[in-house]
Structure 1
Amino acid sequence: MINGAHLIIYSRDAEADRAFLRDVLGYPHVDAGGGWLIFKLPPAEVAVHPVEGAESHELYLMCDDVEATVSELTARGVEFTQPVTDAGWGLLTRLRLPGGGEVGMYEPRHERATEL
Structure 2
Amino acid sequence: MISGAHVILYSQNAEADRDFIRDVLDFPGVDAGGGRLIFKLPPAEVAVHPTDGPPQHELFLMCDNLDSQLAEFRARGIEITRPISEQRWGKLTAIRLPSGAELPLYEPLHPTAHSL
Q: Please give the range of the TM-score, normalised by the shorter of the 2 chains.
A: over 0.9
- Higher deviation after alignment, 20-29 or 52-61: 52-61
What is the CA distance between 1:82 and its match in structure 2?
0.6
CA contact (8 A) 1:58 1:103 kept: no
Indicate the percent of aligned positions where both proteins have the same amino acid: 59
SS of 2:33's equivalent? coil
Normalising to structure 1: TM-score of the pair? Answer: 0.96
Q: Map 1:25-64 to 2 at 5 A.
A: 25-64=25-64
Q: Cα offset for 1:69?
A: 0.3
Q: In the alignment, what sits opposite 2:8?
A: 8
Describe the superposition over 1:31-52 as per-residue Cα deviations: whole angstroms up to 9, x where unpaired: 1111000000000000011111
The answer to whether the Cα contact below 8 Å between 1:13 and 1:98 also exists between their aligned partners in 2 is: yes
Supply the distance in 2 between the matched residues of 1:12 and 1:21 (Cα, whole angstroms).
15
- RMSD (CA atoms): 0.8
- Segments of structure 1 that go 5 or more residues without pairing to the other structure are none
1:78 counterpart residue number = 78
Q: TM-score, normalised by structure 2?
A: 0.96
Residue 56 of structure 1 and its aligned partner are, at CA, apart by 1.6
Q: After TM superposition, where is structure 1 displaced by more than 2 Å over at least 4 residues in a row?
A: none
Q: 1:48-80 CA distances to partner (integer Å, 9 max, x unpaired)?
A: 111111222111000010000011011112111
Gaps of 5+ in 2: none
Q: CA deviation at 1:88?
A: 1.7
Residue type of the partner of 2:56? S
